[in-house]
């Protein structure tokens, strides 16, 4: 029987990362509670933090250190038990609980901010586009733009809007991308095509002429759309007739 996981590597990573962080937090709290009984407080905290960030490396090393420490303390076990003040017992529970609270809150804040970051929205937009989900793609691009106004993102949003038939909205995004100095010359061709669709022939012709003057049409390799733009400009001028 074949099992096919219908998700990208990035989506799988985003799915398991919160679980990995939470497991690391639990293991780190356990190490703090355990190490506090056998090591000075600063060493116990160091063990715990190291385990939080590098659990697969530090946890085995901690168990080795624990065995060594137990052998060293074997001869003084009775003495250690007789000198156990109440506040150290209280710290044994309060300390790890406080540590766990801080760590879990920090992880929660980190995951939330990472999930709502510009890069996260852009990554999800790419994933949605690959899944052929235009509504989600558009939504993710809009959320990214709400956080950071970027001309390249506006161009990508314009492309998505044009593909689903929101031509007026796409024109607006392409114009804003040009105002933001987006270097993609093909935006002028895209604008010309959309303006034709909404019967703005004069504006469309101007955009085609602008496209023909860009490096895409004046330098090798020449964009394959240049000939189409040239024919449309010629058609518009022919239909206009002599002055």
| Shared-domain flag, residues 226 and 167 | yes
Residue 5 lies in a domain: no
Q: How far apart are CA 176 and CA 183, in angstroms?
A: 12
pLDDT of residue 113: 87
| Shared-domain flag, residues 96 and 185 | no
| Shared-domain flag, residues 60 and 106 | yes
Can you give the residue range of the structural domain that contains 156? 149-240
- Number of Cβ within 10 Å of residue 61's Cβ equals 13
Residue 130 lies in a domain: no
Q: Tens digit of pLDDT per residue, the chain (243 long)?
A: 444 445 555 566 667 888 899 999 999 999 999 988 888 888 999 999 999 999 999 999 999 998 888 887 765 654 444 444 545 555 667 888 999 999 999 999 988 888 889 999 999 999 899 989 999 999 999 999 999 999 999 999 999 999 999 999 999 999 999 999 999 999 999 999 999 999 999 999 999 999 999 999 999 899 999 999 999 988 877 776 554
pLDDT of residue 81: 47
pLDDT of residue 241: 57
Burial class (CB in 10 A: 0-12, 13-18, 19+), 86: exposed
Residue 225 lies in a domain: yes
Residue 129 lies in a domain: no
pLDDT of residue 88: 56
| Shared-domain flag, residues 63 and 153 | no
| Shared-domain flag, residues 215 and 172 | yes
* Among 105, 87, 80, 81, residue whose Cα is nearest residue 29: 105
pLDDT of residue 240: 60
Residue in this structure with the two tokens 């895409």, named with its chain if needed:
216
Domain count, the chain: 2
pLDDT of residue 80: 47
What lies within 8 Å, CB to CB, of 205 at 6+ separation is: 192, 232, 233, 236, 237
| Shared-domain flag, residues 47 and 106 | yes
Residue 23 lies in a domain: yes
pLDDT of residue 90: 58
| Shared-domain flag, residues 100 and 175 | no
Residue in this structure with the two tokens 């669709």, named with its chain if needed:
197
CA 134 to chain centre: 18
Handedness of CA 103, 104, 105, 110 (dihedral sign): positive
CATH, residue 194: 1.25.40.10
Phi, psi of 38 (to 5 degrees): -125, -15
Alpha-carbon dihedral 20, 53, 35, 86, rounded to 10 degrees = -80
| Shared-domain flag, residues 17 and 108 | yes
Biggest alpha carbon–alpha carbon distance for the chain: 110
| Shared-domain flag, residues 102 and 157 | no
Residue 2 lies in a domain: no
Distances 10 to 19, 107, 123, 234 between C-alpha atoms, Å: 15, 20, 9, 48
pTM here is 0.69
| Shared-domain flag, residues 97 and 180 | no
pLDDT of residue 226: 93
Q: How far apart are CA 228 and CA 217, in angstroms?
A: 11
| Shared-domain flag, residues 188 and 98 | no
Residue 162 lies in a domain: yes
Residue 144 lies in a domain: no
| Shared-domain flag, residues 111 and 42 | yes
């Amino acid at each position: 029987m074949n099992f096919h996981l219908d998700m990208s590597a990035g989506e799988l990573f985003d799915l398991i990362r919160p679980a990995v962080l939470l497991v690391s937090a639990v293991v780190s709290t356990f190490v703090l509670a355990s190490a506090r009984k056998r090591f000075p407080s600063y060493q116990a905290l160091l063990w715990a933090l190291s385990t939080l960030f590098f659990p697969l490396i530090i946890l085995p090393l901690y168990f080795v250190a624990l065995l060594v420490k137990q052998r060293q303390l074997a001869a003084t076990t009775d003495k250690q038990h007789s000198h156990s003040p109440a506040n150290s017992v209280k710290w044994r529970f309060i300390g790890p609980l406080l540590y766990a609270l801080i760590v879990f809150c920090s992880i929660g804040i980190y995951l939330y901010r990472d999930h709502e970051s510009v890069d996260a929205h852009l990554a999800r937009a790419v994933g949605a586009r690959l899944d052929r989900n235009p509504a989600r793609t558009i939504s993710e691009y809009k959320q990214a733009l709400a956080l950071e106004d970027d001309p390249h993102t506006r161009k990508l949003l314009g492309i998505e809007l044009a593909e689903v038939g929101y031509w007026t909205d796409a024109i607006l995004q392409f114009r804003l991308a040009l105002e933001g100095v987006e270097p993609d010359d093909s935006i002028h061709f895209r604008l010309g095509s959309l303006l034709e669709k909404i019967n703005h022939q004069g504006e469309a012709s101007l955009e085609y002429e602008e496209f023909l003057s860009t490096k895409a049409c004046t330098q090798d390799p020449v964009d394959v759309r240049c000939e189409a733009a040239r024919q449309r400009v010629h058609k518009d001028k022919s239909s206009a007739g002599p002055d």
